[in-house]
Amino acid sequence: MEDVTTKGAADRKINTQEAWEVDYWTKELGVSKGELQRLIKKVGNSAAAVRRELGLLGTPY
């Protein structure tokens, strides 16, 4: 299981099968669960790709 709370250069993946990860990412990105699912369907589960789609790329993890 990936620890999304650690900082690093690795491209994190958003695992929508884990409720705690969905909760973490919706709070971190300021989106609803439905919006997160829509974004992942559109750009994939890369946190960087989702941030880029939201215009948040370059913000701290």
Pair 46, 13: CB distance under 8 Å: yes
Alpha helices, H only, the chain: 19-29, 33-43, 47-54
pLDDT band at 2 (very low <50, low <70, confident <90, very high): low
pLDDT in tens, 5-60: 554 434 689 999 999 999 999 999 999 999 999 999 999 999 999 999 999 876 55
Specify burial of residue 6 (Cβ count, 10 A radius: 0-12, 13-18, 19+).
Answer: exposed
